[in-house]
Amino acid sequence: MDERRMVRVSKYLARHLRHDPGRIGLTLDAHGWVPVDELLRAAAEHGFPITPAELREVVESNDKRRYAIEDGRIRASQGHSVPVDLALPAAEPPEVLYHGTVGRFVTAIRAEGLRPMNRHHVHLSPDRATATRVGGRRGVPVVLVVASGAMHADGHVFHVSANGVWLTGHVPPSYLRFP
Ligand code: HQG
């Protein structure tokens, strides 16, 4: 499969496994899973046929491993806007994590901290390079350093997704370091 097709399939999966399953008549279970055969049938019926081999390739070789397959079911590993409970255990974060954003959000973030916006959690990266890529989706990246160790010590709960994205509910401004 070429790179363009790979990106198209991945975006199609993101749309329907994270944001709008109802658009193609899918219902995710409470933890975000849907049977693989149902997904493939729904996609084909709605004009976007995906072969099982393509699906496997996207799940296995996707740069971010955004999707997981288990027991014949598939789900997005993070990034949902529909209500699902990923049932991720709480995890102890490293001393610092990073958040990539852009300059136009910085004033608001200084005032209110990092908020989940349309997603369920604030997404944090384990390293500066990843955060730079995340911020770079929106413009010139600005990387904030998050005192995640101190937050955890103060009782904030963290989870880590199957693909290594750190998740937390809200990062108050006092735990942020701006460049
Ligand atoms: C910003 C991609 C104003 C925040 C990436 C971000 C990631 C605020 C935007 C994943 C704010 C939300 C998530 C506040 C935060 N005021 N703006 N108080 N608090 N923001 O897309 O972290 O490709 O929901 O800085 O790689 O950019 O989808 O979050 O710019 O892992 O797999 O509001 O999405 O992964 O944007 O990205 P998003 P994000 P996937």
Q: What is the CATH number of the domain that holds 111?
A: 3.20.170.30
What is the rounded average pLDDT of the residues 13-28? 97
* CA dihedral of 55, 60, 62, 64, whole degrees rounded to 10: 130
Q: Is residue 92 part of a domain?
A: no
The predicted pLDDT at position 101 comes to 98
Residue having the nearest C-alpha atom to atom 17 of ligand 1:
105
Domain residues for the domain of 45 are 3-76
The predicted pLDDT at position 62 comes to 67
What is the rounded average pLDDT of the residues 39-64? 93
What is the rounded average pLDDT of the residues 14-20? 97
The model's confidence at residue 29, banded by pLDDT at 50, 70 and 90, is very high
Q: Is residue 29 part of a domain?
A: yes
Rounded to whole angstroms, the Cα distance separating 162 from 147 reads 22
Quote the distance between the C-alpha of residue 78 and its chain's center: 4
Residue having the nearest C-alpha atom to atom 36 of ligand 1:
117
Domain count, the chain: 2
Q: Which atom of ligand 1 is nearest to the CA of 125?
A: 31
Contact 151, 168 (CB under 8 A): yes
Report the separation in Å between the CA atom of 53 and the middle of ligand 1, taken as the mean of its atom positions: 31
pLDDT of 34 > 80? The answer is yes
108 lines ligand 1 (CB under 6 A): yes
E strand residue ranges, the chain? 34-35, 67-70, 73-76, 97-102, 122-124, 141-146, 158-160, 166-168, 176-177
Q: Is residue 11 part of a domain?
A: yes
Q: Is residue 46 located within the same domain as residue 101?
A: no
CATH number for position 52: 1.10.10.970
The model's confidence at residue 64, banded by pLDDT at 50, 70 and 90, is confident
